[in-house]
């Protein structure tokens, strides 16, 4: 009766380990004639020695103990990277290790999170792209405690902290949590790490909320610091902000005008900044870097009011009389 491959490998590891290490025997490919590419995933935080079982199950090594022996005798494995890699059964163990230490497979589909999008908008876009089930993104984005964050997030939503950008994703291996982690890491790197020392008396939450208002209120990045300055000034003086965009936040369709007009008259709506003082309870979308920067570095001015004409050009006013004159001039009501 022939001994099993596993038993032979075990005996070789126990009795002939040093010899195998010196000559490279048994470190060759499982099948030198099989060049079919197999996608192999190295989980985040994994160490090389823990991959033996998965490599064996994929048919990429004869036995996981050979993989462990190779790592022990070669001293390799510290360079392991997380991600997806193309491996083949015609690869030797040293070649597999070299591949796993190289660049992972690049994600192959751009998914753009538009500046100002709400969590609900991102959820809908993921569903439309058939990357996630409807509601999946929104559910996880309502659980800040799931993520290890270097900044405080009060409440039960990540709204405002999910950095808008184009993210490369792999449809066959897409995970909602991974996208959220990328967005939060982007926010951390591009905004928080740069600006955490200059927030002054403003809380990060308030800065993010104001930035989300600026994002929706002013399309021209060059004018955003001035608009941010007006919003902060009104807030500090206890004035109603009067930012109509906040009343659109909870609408299923942002452009549903009939529902929007009803919201403007609802004093019970916590997002109604015409009738309620202070900031809305959350951001009203996920602001761009220019809006975030404007909220941190607003421009002081003599203005207290602003409005936009039909061409989306902003017009400022120093007092209510000038503001009403602008309303009549540009037919904005």
| Residue 77: predicted pLDDT | 82
Cβ count near 43 (within 10 Å) = 10
Confidence of residue 4 (pLDDT cuts 50, 70, 90): low
Confidence of residue 246 (pLDDT cuts 50, 70, 90): very high
- Average pLDDT over the chain, rounded to an integer: 91
Radius of gyration for the chain, computed over Cα atoms and rounded to the nearest angstrom? 28
Who's near 116: CB < 8 A, 6+ residues apart?
A: 164, 212, 215, 216, 285, 286, 287, 288
Confidence of residue 186 (pLDDT cuts 50, 70, 90): very high
User: Considering the chain, what percentage of its residues have pLDDT values greater than 90?
Assistant: 80
Who's near 101: CB < 8 A, 6+ residues apart?
A: 76, 79, 80, 81
Average pLDDT rounded to a whole number, residues 284-313: 97
Please give the C-alpha separations between residue 275 and each of 259, 262, 280, 293, in angstroms, as whole numbers: 16, 13, 11, 28
User: Considering the chain, what percentage of its residues have pLDDT values greater than 70?
Assistant: 92
| Residue 76: predicted pLDDT | 85
Is the pLDDT at 223 greater than 60, yes or no?
yes
Q: Are 296 and 198 in contact (CB under 8 A)?
A: yes
Residue 286 tokens, joined: 């996920």
Alpha-carbon torsion (252, 258, 261, 263), positive or negative = negative
Domain spans in the chain, listed from the N-terminal domain onward: 5-100, 109-196, 198-330
Average pLDDT rounded to a whole number, residues 25-52: 89
Is the pLDDT at 39 greater than 60, yes or no?
yes
Three-state DSSP class for 314? strand
Give 111-168 pLDDT, tens digit per residue.
999 999 999 999 999 999 999 999 999 999 999 999 999 999 999 999 999 999 999 8
The answer to which of 34-38, 58-62, 272-276, 311-315 has the lowest mean pLDDT is 34-38
Q: What are phi and psi of 102, to 5 degrees?
A: -90, -165
Who's near 175: CB < 8 A, 6+ residues apart?
A: none
Residue with tokens 């916590």: 270
Q: What are phi and psi of 99, to 5 degrees?
A: -65, -45
Is the pLDDT at 21 greater than 50, yes or no?
no
| Residue 108: predicted pLDDT | 73
| Residue 19: predicted pLDDT | 47
Three-state DSSP class for 109? strand
Residue whose C-alpha is closest to residue 317's, from 329, 331, 307: 307
Residue with tokens 């790490």: 193
| Residue 14: predicted pLDDT | 47
pTM for the model: 0.71
Residue 154 tokens, joined: 């009060």
β-partners of residue 38 are: 87
Residue 48 tokens, joined: 């090389």
Is the pLDDT at 25 greater than 70, yes or no?
no
């Amino acid at each position: 009766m022939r001994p099993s491959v596993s038993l032979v490998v075990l005996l070789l590891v126990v009795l002939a380990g040093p010899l195998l290490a010196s000559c490279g025997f048994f470190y060759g490919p499982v099948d030198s004639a099989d060049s079919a590419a197999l996608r192999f995933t190295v989980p985040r935080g994994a160490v090389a020695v823990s991959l033996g079982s998965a490599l064996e199950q994929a048919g990429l090594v004869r036995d996981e103990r050979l993989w462990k022996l190779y790592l022990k005798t070669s001293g390799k494995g510290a360079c392991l990277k997380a991600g997806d890699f193309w491996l083949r059964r015609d690869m030797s163990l040293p070649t597999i290790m070299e591949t796993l230490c190289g660049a992972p497979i690049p994600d192959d589909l751009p998914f753009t999170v538009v500046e100002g999008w709400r969590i609900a908008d991102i959820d809908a876009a993921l569903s439309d792209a058939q990357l996630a089930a409807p509601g999946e993104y929104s559910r996880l984005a309502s659980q800040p405690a799931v993520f290890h964050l270097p900044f405080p997030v009060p409440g039960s939503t990540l709204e405002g902290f999910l950095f808008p950008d184009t993210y490369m994703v792999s449809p066959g291996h897409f995970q909602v949590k991974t996208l959220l982690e990328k967005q939060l890491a982007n926010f951390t790197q591009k905004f928080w790490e740069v600006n955490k020392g200059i927030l002054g008396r403003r809380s990060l939450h308030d800065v993010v909320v104001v930035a989300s208002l600026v994002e929706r209120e002013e399309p021209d990045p060059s004018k955003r610091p001035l608009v941010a300055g007006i919003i902060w000034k009104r807030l500090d003086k206890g004035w109603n902000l009067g930012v109509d965009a906040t009343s659109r936040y909870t609408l299923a369709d942002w452009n549903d005008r009939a529902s929007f007009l009803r919201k403007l008259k609802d004093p019970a709506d916590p997002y109604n900044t015409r009738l309620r003082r202070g900031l809305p309870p959350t951001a009203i979308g996920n602001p761009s870097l220019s809006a975030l920067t404007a909220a941190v570095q607003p421009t002081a001015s003599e203005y207290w009011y602003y409005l936009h004409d039909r061409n989306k050009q902003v017009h400022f006013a120093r007092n209510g009389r000038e503001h009403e004159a602008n309303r009549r001039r540009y037919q904005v009501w």
